[in-house]
């Protein structure tokens, strides 16, 4: 073989992409109902955007970014996530000048250089929500409800919502110091990564998966213990909204998320069926990110979910998506003259909005019927010499196995009427 696809990437074949389209359409309809509009940003940005927006102490920036110099000597990076890009677009395009909040969604590929494993790829796809301009706890609750509703509509079971508050710039330093004081006596026993994080970003130690580090976190102070009155009220209001709409949750005091820009609410939706990488969605509030990237102080809140993990979860729970047949009508023809007529019929039906297909390989009639099975068509039209002499075609209902002769010149209209087009 001349080449293979790069490690950590996937080819999505037609039998896969039809499922992706179904899920993407569900997400787009959900966003329409919640008032979110689509944003499309470049696949690469100036590297500085992610250094400032994602945070230079994160694993993404330190270990995982695809960064290179372009022909002009500029440092650019394939986007490892899309929140920073969305903020940049919000500021650069002066979206803040319109009525607020600005509610956006995106779907697209992201890139991180990490060891490929179940649920993790070097090119992966995310759907995300960003809401700018609203500081209300209702905005936090709304995006959680949107994410939860998506998984509910898919029919996924055993979901667990974890929520926490990581405070604000006023109360977080209090917690930061309390955590450092707690960990300092055992600092030399923590893993090398956590020792590096101790001064720069000690909250990330809470998220470490090393069992030894987790052992030394037993009894550690929590972010909730250190919340100021405003942050505590904000968090309690988010929980009240979730209670009001019947969404169950677990307060996870170690949940801080992996990015530096979070403030106040942080949340994840977990699903154990997909293995070790059980988080299928995560997000929270980032009230200082717009300012960090050069805009005016603007509250923001959002989430992202991995599309590949959605399909892993569906497979793990044995959920089949209700995918419609690939085509509506297959036109089978016997002979050269009939093939010409079939081509014209297919074109007429496509112009009327039907999905129609015909044979282009010169197969026998029997082979054409076998080929038609691939498309799971609702109807088959059979064009033969005898029918042509009478100006008719045979219409076969593939579900009911009923067959009738219909006028050739009315065939396309009759089929369109059956699909109410």
Tokens read off for 190: 């923590």
The string over 230-258, giving b where at least 16 C-beta atoms fall within 10 Å of a residue's C-beta and e elsewhere, is: ebeebbebbbebbeeeebebeebebbbbe
Altogether, the residues listed in the chain come to a count of 421
On whether the CB atoms of residues 195 and 187 are closer than 8 A, the answer is yes
Q: Please give the average per-residue pLDDT across 140-151, as a whole number.
A: 98
On whether the CB atoms of residues 163 and 251 are closer than 8 A, the answer is yes
Q: What angle do CA 287, 162, 180 make, to 5 degrees?
A: 65
What's the CA gap between 50 and 184, in Å, rounded? Answer: 31
Local confidence band at 134 (pLDDT 50, 70, 90 cut-offs): very high
Reported in sequence order, the residue ranges of 55-174 that DSSP labels E, i.e. its strands, are 67-69, 75-78, 102-111, 123-132, 159-165
- DSSP designation for 117: B
Within 8 A by CB and 6+ apart from 317, the residues are 155, 156, 157, 158, 273
Q: pLDDT tens digits, residue range 371-398?
A: 888 888 889 999 988 889 999 999 998 8
Local confidence band at 81 (pLDDT 50, 70, 90 cut-offs): very high
Topology given in CATH for the domain delimited by 14-171+227-316: BirA Bifunctional Protein; domain 2 (3.30.930)
**Does residue 319 register a pLDDT over 90?**
yes
What's the CA gap between 421 and 413, in Å, rounded? Answer: 9
Q: In what order do the strands lie in the sheet with 300-306?
A: 37-38, 102-111, 123-132, 300-306, 279-285, 263-271, 159-165, 250-251
Q: pLDDT tens digits, residue range 161-218?
A: 999 999 998 888 888 888 888 889 888 888 988 888 888 888 888 878 888 888 888 8
Torsion angle, alpha carbons of 347, 348, 352, 353, to 10: -20
| pTM given for the model | 0.88
User: Which residues make beta-bridge pairs with 46?
Assistant: 76
**Does residue 276 register a pLDDT over 70?**
no
Domain limits of the chain? 14-171+227-316, 329-418
Number of other CB atoms surrounding residue 321 within 10 Å = 14
What's the CA gap between 354 and 274, in Å, rounded? Answer: 38
**CATH fit for domain 329-418, picks 3.40.50.800, 3.40.50.300, 3.40.50.1100, 3.40.718.10:** 3.40.50.800
User: What was the pLDDT predicted at 172?
Assistant: 84
What's the CA gap between 329 and 144, in Å, rounded? Answer: 42
What's the CA gap between 305 and 104, in Å, rounded? Answer: 15
């Amino acid at each position: 073989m001349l080449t293979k696809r790069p490690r950590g990437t996937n080819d999505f074949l037609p039998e896969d992409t039809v499922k992706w389209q179904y899920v993407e359409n569900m997400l787009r309809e959900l966003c329409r109902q919640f008032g979110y509009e689509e944003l499309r940003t470049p696949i690469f940005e100036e590297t500085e955007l992610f250094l400032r927006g994602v945070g230079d102490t994160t694993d993404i920036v330190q270990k995982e970014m695809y960064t290179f110099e372009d022909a002009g000597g500029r440092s650019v990076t394939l986007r490892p996530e899309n929140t920073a890009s969305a903020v940049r677009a919000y500021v650069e395009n002066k979206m803040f000048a319109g009525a607020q909040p600005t509610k956006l969604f995106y779907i697209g590929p992201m890139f991180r250089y990490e060891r490929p494993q179940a649920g993790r790829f070097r090119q992966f796809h995310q759907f995300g929500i960003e809401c700018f301009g609203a500081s209300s706890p209702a905005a936090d609750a709304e995006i959680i409800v949107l994410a939860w509703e998506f998984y509910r509509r898919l029919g996924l079971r055993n979901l667990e919502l974890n929520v926490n508050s990581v405070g604000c710039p006023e109360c977080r330093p209090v917690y930061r110091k309390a955590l450092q004081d707690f960990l300092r006596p055992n600092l030399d026993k923590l893993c090398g990564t956590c020792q590096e994080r101790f001064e720069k970003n000690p909250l990330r130690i809470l998220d470490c998966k090393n069992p030894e580090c987790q052992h030394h976190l037993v009894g550690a102070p929590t972010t909730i213990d250190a919340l100021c009155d405003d942050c505590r009220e904000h968090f309690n209001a988010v929980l009240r909204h979730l209670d009001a709409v019947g969404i169950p949750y677990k307060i996870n005091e170690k949940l801080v998320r992996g990015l530096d820009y979070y403030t106040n609410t942080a949340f994840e939706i977990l699903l154990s069926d997909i293995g070790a990488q059980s988080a299928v969605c995560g997000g929270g509030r980032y009230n200082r990110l717009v300012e960090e990237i050069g805009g005016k102080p603007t509250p923001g809140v959002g989430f992202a979910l991995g599309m590949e993990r959605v399909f892993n979860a569906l497979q793990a729970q044995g959920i089949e998506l209700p995918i419609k047949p690939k085509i509506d009508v297959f036109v089978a023809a016997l002979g050269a003259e009939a093939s010409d007529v079939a081509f014209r019929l297919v074109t007429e039906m496509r112009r009327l909005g039907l999905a129609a297909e015909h044979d282009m390989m010169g197969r026998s009639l029997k082979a054409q019927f076998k080929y038609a099975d691939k498309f799971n068509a609702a109807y088959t039209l059979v064009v033969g010499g005898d029918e042509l002499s009478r100006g008719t075609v045979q219409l076969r209902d593939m579900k009911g196995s009923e067959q009738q002769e219909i006028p050739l010149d009315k065939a396309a209209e009759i089929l369109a009427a059956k699909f109410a087009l």
